[in-house]
Amino acid sequence: MTVAEDQAPRQLYAGSGDARGGGRLEVENVSKTYGAGHFAKTVVQDCSFAIEQGKLTVMIGPSGCGKSTLIRLMAGFERPSNGTISIDGKPVTGPGLDRLVVFQESALFPWMTTYDNIMYGPRARGRDNAETRELAEFLLQKVGLSVFRSKYPPQLSGGMQRRAELARAMVNNPSVMILDEPFRGLDAMTKKLMQEYYARLYEETRRTTFFVTTDIDEAIYLADRLLVMTNIPSRVRAVLEVDLPRPRRLEDLIESDDANRIKMQALSLLHEEAMKSFARGSKAAADFVEAYSRRINKPN
């Protein structure tokens, strides 16, 4: 992919946390309960963790463990019942440009072309100027969608939609990007390509990122740091540092002992969590427990 020789968009693009001067997101003793009285359901309980500036923090946990709820709290769409969330020391009180979410499936506006989607944020803030347009062009090229600029989202493939959505967030130069299972629903091949593509993108920009997934291989491939979550109500069960050299390639990870060690560690934690929820009667956990025990009982 050829990159424009222009310095201005490149700087903005690579701006990451430093350009905005921050990106450290802190979650402290956060709880979230829906409903009240007899119907109260606590989804997140006493959850604390930090997302370090310039790092890619991946959160992994069983489906339905409250990861998406945490994202809504961090993005400011909902308020925690208890505890505080702050970015660079300032409490989060609502949605903001410093924390942009790339949603599960696609949340591109169907009635806007790729280009108009990318320019949505700048236009909303009255910044449809030459500089922003240049950045939009740069990003279009970066995500390989220059040719598809005038297409509407339903006319794009799944992978293109995700890339367009990444560009739509990046054009606003957020301090933190929050990605909620962004590659879910893609076919296996496209998913791998998107993971590699996304790793390159991150390695180039080092923008502070919070990435949520249920895919352990994706998690280890991308993460600087891995947060393993408990079952609902959600808390951080363990923090694993993923000290693998960058740039990373998917093939290397299969052979890397370090990667496999971290994977086993994470899997056994997830297994313990699944056992607990299986004991409480969760049907979803049963599959995991069954498959996992077959896997480790098999002699190598």
Partner 1 sequence: MTSKLVDRFVLPLFSGRFWRGVLAITVFLVLWEIGSRSESWLGVAMPWVSRVPAPTAVTATFLDLMKDPGYWFSWYLSSKRVFEGFVAAMLIGIPLGLAMAVSRGFYGTMFPVFEVFRPIPPLAWVPASIIFWPTQEMSIAFVTFLGAFYAIVINVIGGAQAIDVRFFQAARSMGSSSWDIFRRIILPGTLPSIVVGATVGIGITWAVVVAAEMISGGGSAGSMGGAGGGLGFFIWNSYVGGSYTQIVVGMISIGIAGYISSAMLRKLGDWITPWLRDG
Question: How far is it, in rounded angstroms, from Cα 134 to Cα 246?
Answer: 29
Closest CA relative to residue 174, chosen from 208, 140, 124: 208
Beta-strand relationship, 208-213 and 225-229: unpaired
Sheet-wide strand order for 90-91? 41-51, 25-34, 82-87, 90-91
Question: At CA 29, angle to CA 74 and CA 220, rounded to 5?
Answer: 60
Smaller CB separation from partner 1, 97 or 254: 97
Residues 121 and 85 sit within 8 Å (Cβ to Cβ): no
> For residues 127-156, which are near partner 1 according to CB under 8 A?
152-155
> For residues 57-96, which are near partner 1 according to CB under 8 A?
72, 75-77, 94-96
Residues 30 and 18 sit within 8 Å (Cβ to Cβ): no
Smaller CB separation from partner 1, 67 or 225: 67
**Residue 120 is a binding residue for partner 1 (CB under 8 A):** yes
Residue 83 CB, shortest distance to partner 1, in Å, is: 21
Residue 78 CB, shortest distance to partner 1, in Å, is: 10
Give the count of residues interacting with partner 1 (CB under 8 A): 26
Smaller CB separation from partner 1, 115 or 221: 115
Residue 96 CB, shortest distance to partner 1, in Å, is: 7
Smaller CB separation from partner 1, 75 or 186: 75
**Residue 34 is a binding residue for partner 1 (CB under 8 A):** no
Residues 197 and 206 sit within 8 Å (Cβ to Cβ): no
Residues that bind partner 1 (CB under 8 A): 72, 75-77, 94-97, 99-101, 103, 107, 109-112, 120-121, 124-125, 152-155, 172
